[in-house]
Amino acid sequence: MSALLEVEGLRVRLPTPAGYTTVVDGVDYLVEPAQVFGVAGESGSGKTVSMLALLGLLPTGAVVEGRAAFGGQDLLRLRGRELRAVSGRDIGMVFQDPMTSLHPMLTVGRQLTEHVRRHLGLGRQGATQRAIELLEQVRIPDPSSALHAYPHQFSGGMRQRIAIAIALACGPRLLIADEPTTALDVTVQAGILRLLDRLRREHELSVVLITHDLAVMSSIADSVSIFYAGRVVESGPRESLLQHPRHPYTRALLDALPHPEAARDVPLVAIKGTPPTPQQIPAGCPYHPRCAYAIDVCTTDDPPLVPVDGRRLACHVDPFANGG
């Protein structure tokens, strides 16, 4: 099966008064159909910017290089109306904060139907019907009344479901979800994750799930890419990557999480230092100042992302190669 989305050499530079800074520095990945593709990383890793670049949502003056093949077109070469036609219809996006991602002054029904009418050309009746269907799919109780309600009348979890419904309104093949559950309670989060999983199965939908939470990644993603300082440092199938991480950063991220079986009173393993800002990316491997396994070459040469044992890894040392 050919890939749904193929990104090659994505590089994004954003304008600042002090000149351009490189926020995404050479990222490649492949999203298959009906797959949940996880993008993990801490704040400042470039994970969100790399997605915004695909949808043309970057601030003016941004410089984007590379290729993003989607449905036979290069998203990065599309502009204005053409891009909106594709991004509005074939790609849906869900953001983190359900409070600000829905228009507070329009009813839910209006927000749903507006989208549907613009991209699918349905009449009012058809659009309303579709809106009710969408709300049913995301399990909003009493959809016909919900159409006339305003976002503030719903809880955070419900609003996120509505946001997902809007994103799915035109039957996209790809859904990009940026930290969709971070602001939600854990039981509500579980509901949203289950919803995404079901939608993926029922509609052959691919989901790009961006989050810093590896536990969430572990529940739902099929493949995971770890971002650090604007590039991918490790990527591969979820199970092997999370159970046998090979990049020291991935390993450190997992070690920093509390382990259910760990003895209490054993301190959590914190990664020393903080992620670098785009203006201060170290030479060589960007992670080397915080890495316990760095050797000389790490300070001078940026390791390329290479395939190894069924995953891709950007590390000179590969200290856990033998399941360490």
Partner 1 sequence: MSAIAFRTRARRRSGRLRPAWRQPLAITGGVIAVGWLVVAIFAPLIAPYDPLAQTFTASQGPTGAHLFGTDELGRDVLSRVIFGSRVSVPIALLLVGLAAVIGGLVGGLAGYFRGLVDGASMRIVDLVFAFPPIILAMVVAAVLGRGLRNAALAIVVVAWPSYARVVRGLVLSVGDLEYVQSARLLGSSARRTLFRDVLPNVAGPVFVLATLDLANAILLLSGLSFLGLGAQPPHAEWGSMVADGAQYFQWWWIGTFPGLAIFTAVLAFNFLGDSLRDLFDPQTAWGGDDRQ
Partner 2 sequence: MAANDSPALELRDVHVVYERRGRERVPAVAGASLTVEQGQIVGLVGESGCGKSSLARAAVGLVRPAAGTVMFEGREVTPLKRGARSKDLARLQMVFQNPYSSLNPRRKIGSQLADALEALDLVPRRARRARVEELLDLVGLHANAAARYPHQFSGGQRQRIAVARALAAEPSLLVLDEPLASLDASAQAQVANLLVDLSRRLSLGLLLISHDLAIVRHVADVVSVMYLGVMVETAPTRPLWSLPLHPYTEALIGAVPHPDGRGFLPEALPGEVPDPARPPAACRFHPRCPYAFDRCSNEDPLTLRVASDRTVACWLQSGAGAPGPPAQRAAQLPLLRTEE
Sites of contact with partner 2 (CB under 8 A): 42-43, 155-158, 185-191, 193-194, 197, 212-220, 238-243, 253-254, 256-260, 262, 264-265, 267-271, 273-275
d(CA 141, CA 191): 14
- Cα distance between residue 80 and residue 85, in whole Å: 9
Q: Is 17 in the site for partner 1 (CB under 8 A)?
A: yes
Residue 243 interacts with partner 1 (CB under 8 A)?
A: no
Query: In Å, what is the CA distance from 286 to each residue of 140, 164, 216, 245?
Result: 45, 35, 26, 18
114 binds partner 1 (CB under 8 A): no
Among positive and negative, which fits the CA dihedral 56, 58, 63, 65?
Answer: negative
- Is 154 among the residues that bind partner 1 (CB under 8 A)? no
What DSSP element (H or E) covers 23? Answer: strand 19-31
- With left for phi above 0 and alpha for psi between -120 and 50, is residue 234 left, alpha or beta? beta
Q: Which amino acid is at 184?
A: L
Among 182, 218, 219, 240, binds partner 1 (CB under 8 A): 182
Q: How far apart are CA 316 and CA 306, in angstroms?
A: 10
Residue 49, binding choice from partner 2, partner 1, none, Cβ under 5 to 8 Å by partner class:
partner 1
Query: Which tokens hold the place of 139?
Result: 């399990």
Q: What is the DSSP letter of 302?
A: P
Q: Does 179 bind partner 1 (CB under 8 A)?
A: yes
Q: Which is nearer to partner 2, 68 or 195 (CB)?
A: 195
Q: How far is the CB of 210 from partner 1 (least distance, A)?
A: 8
H or E element at residue 296: helix 296-300
State which of residues 277, 295, 297, 321 lies at the interface with partner 1 (CB under 8 A).
Answer: 277
Taking the complex as a whole, how short is the minimal distance between the CB of residue 118 and partner 1, in angstroms? 26
Q: Counting contacts by CB under 8 A, is residue 256 touching partner 1?
A: no
The smaller minimum CB distance to partner 2, of residues 256 and 297, is found at 256
What does the angle CA 84 – CA 85 – CA 86 come to, to the nearest 5 degrees? 90
Nearer to partner 2, 15 or 156 (CB): 156
| Contact positions with partner 1 (CB under 8 A) in 81-100 | 95-97
Pick one of 7, 10, 23, 76: the residue that binds partner 1 (CB under 8 A).
23
Closer residue to partner 2 in complex, CB, 77/259 = 259
Q: Which does 48 bind (CB under 5 to 8 A by kind): partner 1, partner 2, none?
A: partner 1
Regarding 129 and contact with partner 1 (CB under 8 A), the answer is: no
Asked whether 91 and 176 are in contact (CB, 8 A), the reply is: yes
| Residue the block writes with tokens 């009173």 | 265
User: From residue 112, how far is each of 33, 131, 155, 205 by CA, in Å?
Assistant: 25, 6, 18, 19
**Interface positions with partner 1 (CB under 8 A):** 14-19, 21, 23, 41-44, 47-49, 59, 95-97, 178-179, 182, 210-212, 277-279
